[in-house]
A and B are shown apart, each in its own frame.
Chain A
Amino acid sequence: DVKVTQSSRYLVKRTGEKVFLECVQDMDHENMFWYRQDPGLGLRLIYFSYDVKMKEKGDIPEGYSVSREKKERFSLILESASTNQTSMYLCASSIQGDNSPLHFGNGTRLTVT
């Protein structure tokens, strides 16, 4: 089975801090994604990556950046955390190409105070 591991289940950070959320997948998937999940809004795509050092903006990239230096690792960076970035963050991966299911990690619940 595909395993997508997010390094932290819970994080509490202060406004203005730089925050790193880490994600690793073990199935050699080309595609990796970061979503945030908020009540009533479903899952919204922040950034995704097709390959090492490649990144593309999703639907809500403002306030975020990403890094993909190795194929198995995709990091989400909050340059200066704000309270409206309090959310559940989900990382996912998939094989190359269209029409393939995403495999998700168990999420990181981030609280910004």
Chain B
Amino acid sequence: GESVGLHLPTLSVQEGDNSIINCAYSNSASDYFIWYKQESGKGPQFIIDIRSNMDKRQGQRVTVLLNKTVKHLSLQIAATQPGDSAVYFCAESDDYKLSFGAGTTVTVRA
């Protein structure tokens, strides 16, 4: 069956450092991947997406890397700020439906 999961449920990062959040997926037919950020009391917020014909995509302070060979997805956040503290979800899709992982809670230390 399909499963989307994150390697670590929690991540503690020093303010100013770079963060790397990892995600493994099992469905080799998945062709679309998204990272979401969820702050306390809010719904998931879209961060960045990537299609399977790419292996890297950059946004503002964020980079998503896709390794289809090992079915691995990562989100890199540059110069982590206190406002980056949240739960981060990866999601994957091979059709119109997204499957979500359980999330990684990122805590930024001052």
Contact B34 A31 (CB under 8 A): no
Contact A98 B34 (CB under 8 A): no
Q: Is A61 an interface residue when CB atoms closer than 8 A count as contact?
A: no
- Given the known interface contacts A42-B101, A43-B89, A43-B100, the answer about A98 and B41 at a Cβ–Cβ threshold of 8 Å is no
Contact residues of B with A, CB < 8 Å? 4, 31-32, 34, 36, 41-46, 49, 51, 89, 91, 93, 95-98, 100-103
Majority-rule SS of A interface residues: loop
Contact B32 A98 (CB under 8 A): yes
Q: Work out how many contacts link A and B, with CB atoms closer than 8 A.
A: 51
In the complex, what residue of chain B is closest to A45 when comparing beta carbons? B97
Q: In whole Å, how far is A53's beta carbon from the nearest beta carbon of chain B?
A: 18
Contact residues of A with B, CB < 8 Å? 4, 31, 40-43, 45, 48, 50, 58, 90, 92, 97-99, 101-107
**A90 neighbours in B (Cβ, 8 Å):** 43-44
Contact B49 A101 (CB under 8 A): yes
Contact B42 A106 (CB under 8 A): yes
- C-alpha spacing A104/B89, complex, angstroms: 13
| A to B CB contacts below 8 Å, 26 in the list | A4-B43, A41-B102, A42-B4, A42-B89, A42-B100, A42-B101, A43-B89, A43-B100, A45-B97, A48-B96, A58-B97, A97-B96, A98-B96, A99-B49, A99-B93, A101-B46, A102-B34, A102-B44, A103-B46, A104-B36, A104-B43, A104-B44, A104-B45, A105-B43, A107-B42, A107-B43
Contact B43 A106 (CB under 8 A): yes
- C-alpha spacing A97/B22, complex, angstroms: 27
List 9 tightest A-B contacts by C-beta distance, closest first.
Answer: A104-B43, A99-B32, A43-B100, A42-B102, A42-B100, A101-B46, A106-B43, A104-B44, A105-B43
